[in-house]
Structure 1
Amino acid sequence: MRALLCRLPPLLALLALSLTAVAADWKQGRASYYGTDGWSIHKGNCGFGYISQDQPAGWDVAALSDQFPNFAGSCGRCYEVKCDSRWVKDGYGASFDRTHVCYDPSASLLLRIVDSCPCNYPSNWYSNKRWCCGDADHMDISIWAFEKLADKKWGVIPIQYREVPCSYQPPKPAPAISNPTPGEYWSQTDNFMQTGDMSTPKIWNYQQADKMVQGWQFGDPTGSSSARASSSASSSASPANTGSSSGDKGTVFSGSLQNGWWDASYNAKVSWQAGNFGSSGGNVVCADLYGSGALAVSHSQGGFQGAGGLEFWMKTDGGRPQVTINIGGGSRYCTPKPLGQLSVLESRGSYSKFALSLGELGGSYTSFQGCGGNGWWDLTTIELKSTIGSTQTVCLDSIRLLPGSSSSRRRSS
């Protein structure tokens, strides 16, 4: 390049240097999408209110991870973004092949920041820690921007990005698809803000501007006033081979089996009242697994309704048990996940907390509908199965199904 510039007129040489600097400015990141799942682009905590399509970037907007470089003061900032053909990982280490999903890796679009994606979001901790805790530079972009870059079925894509002025025009704009997702509009009725109803088109009415604000206060990324936190799980010590009732409908085991779940273990000696030595001093379940035995629980059909993930606390002070985690229904099971492939999310005493998306066992990880030939309605069983020939002991403090979503930002996926 240096020899070539010596032969160029000064103006062209300056232009070449400028283009070289811009090209070197691209950074790698990751993008998921939101906008039609109850998390409206018009309610971002930047407080911009309704976003009209003639504003800078229109509906091509994003929520920025609060671990993103230069996150502070990002409201209103603009980025040029393009799809990047490569593998991508989530925050728990799972890898996804996205080498062939980009419509055109050379096409880009302008994104404006209107919201945030907080790493610490207790009511949706699994999903937010999966994407927004800094393992990658992550943007939750609007579905209308996402579907210009790749099919929305992929859920998450690798991207390249760089900060640009909001007046910037990409040299090769990513075109809108022929049948884009229907948009959100506003009318004089209040049902959109109060219920999120988008069943009919709505037209913007400027008299409603003061109501088009996110459900939590401006600048508060915790979502404290709108968080849909689950009630705490019951720790009843009732006999536990049948499920008692819990305030948290996702609870499978907490001191006892809950919400209609029952023991379905096989080739195992199980004690559902093993003693009060759990991570918080509550009762635990322990099982001696013989050969290919499993600690398993079952529910009638429909027990997985709305589920998108699985969380459990396991005793690991003597090393991780050599087991796989799986779900199934009838004689059909999904793809087992070795415990050794899961990251420890938290440790407390001799116990470690693990979690995984049900999509990691097969099917869609963005909006779980079933796996192994079973729809979600047909799934009935959760099992932790031994992978060694000798006897081993496993102890669990709690088991919960986590809520599922098509959005990665504030609900589990």
Structure 2
Amino acid sequence: MSVTCCYFAANCSLSSACSRAMLARCTVLLLAAGIVLAQPLEQGTVPNDQYTAAPAPPPLGTDGWRTGRSTFFDGSDTFKNAYLARGAGAFGDILYGSCQYASIRDGVARDYSDLPFDKAQVAALAQKDPDYPGSCGRCYEIRCQDGLVIGNDTTPVNIDQFYYLATVDDTVTDDFGRSFPGNSAFDQGEQNVQCWGDNSVFVHIIDSCPAFQVKNGAEVQQLWCNSDIYHFDLSYWAFEQLAHPTYGVMMVDFRPVDCYTHEALVFTPGFVNTTIYSDQVETGWNFGPYYVHSADFWRQGAGVGGSNASCVNVATKQSYGQAGSGGGGLGFSAVNGTDAGYQPFAGKTTLDFWVKSNSTGPGDESEAGYPKGTLPDLNVYLSNAEAAVYCANSLELTSLTPAGTQPTANGGTYYHFQIPFDNFNCAGGSAGSLANIDSIGFGSNSNADYASFCLDDLILV
């Protein structure tokens, strides 16, 4: 399997939604490319022979509210250090989510400033949730429910089923200095949560919570994310706004909302924007740089007319120990986007986007790859991320005629393309039709050690 198709597997973890064989073939290449498969919080696991059914859509309440459940992942150093006995990395990390919503800086460790959203405004969605397809970037309003936490069989969960933080240390304060309110159902072996109030948080989905996880060399199902109850994994900082993190898990009310107006949206099928990138990666799409020195989720001022753009500085395949010519690239995928009710490519006729070299000119390390003002030599290809099927044709931009150009403020040039989808011949490829496509990639043909380009206004028309 080629590297340029393997990056799509980064949006999968070990679940029924993804091909385990595909992941096995791609893991080495993904790690070499600096793409990290998400490892959400292991709050509890069950043997993988205890399967649960996929959850039905929760009943609709007033103003679109539904009932679900939430754990959390990551946390402040102070909080995590109080539970070191749990093991290194046990709380997970929001910086390496499966949506890949973090900028990459060459040789520099990621920090929370590399995320496009505040750390208190992000979450993961369980892969078994009915509106999981195309969930990257989707927004939800979530509020805590006072009372008992329900397990997967609709009865109160037993605190012996998971790593119950309060048993280890119930004196730890949250980041606001608040003490644990206590669990009035402790003697019954259950958990009764006291919420901080009736406030809500608005979160962007940046990660997935897999039904399966490899633990001690064995594949097991996760207690919370392989569930018949709708489930979120909030960031620690979002969770603590609703309830004390020592609870570890709580019942919630939730509803999908518009990320900007916060107006309630239709629950399922969830919304996937046919604008893939405009100032930022839009709702429904992951951000997939591969074989890169650096990648900007959004670079301010680098877009058409001074807007934001997505920019990558790619390396060669050989620099990552892989055979073949050319280098890395950038892709976007709507995970499970070919499920009924989604299919963002279906019925579309044209791929519309702008692209430019991101070199600043002589002296720039990427000038040898894509000189300033020139059209980057990229291959554009379409695929289905989960099924690993493709359209018959990939297209080289240098063989196409741009629809127009626009100068940039620093003397460079943006090239505008409007490519008919018929040119990709999806019917003649293993995908069979455009409706079976949920991913698009831009792969570099440059053999230079550094080749930088930017994309903006990527739209399915």
TM-score category, normalised to shorter length:
0.3 to 0.5
TM-score (norm 1): 0.34
- The structure number with the bigger radius of gyration is 1
TM-score (norm 2): 0.30
Q: Which has the higher contact order (CA 8 A, sep 6+)?
A: 2
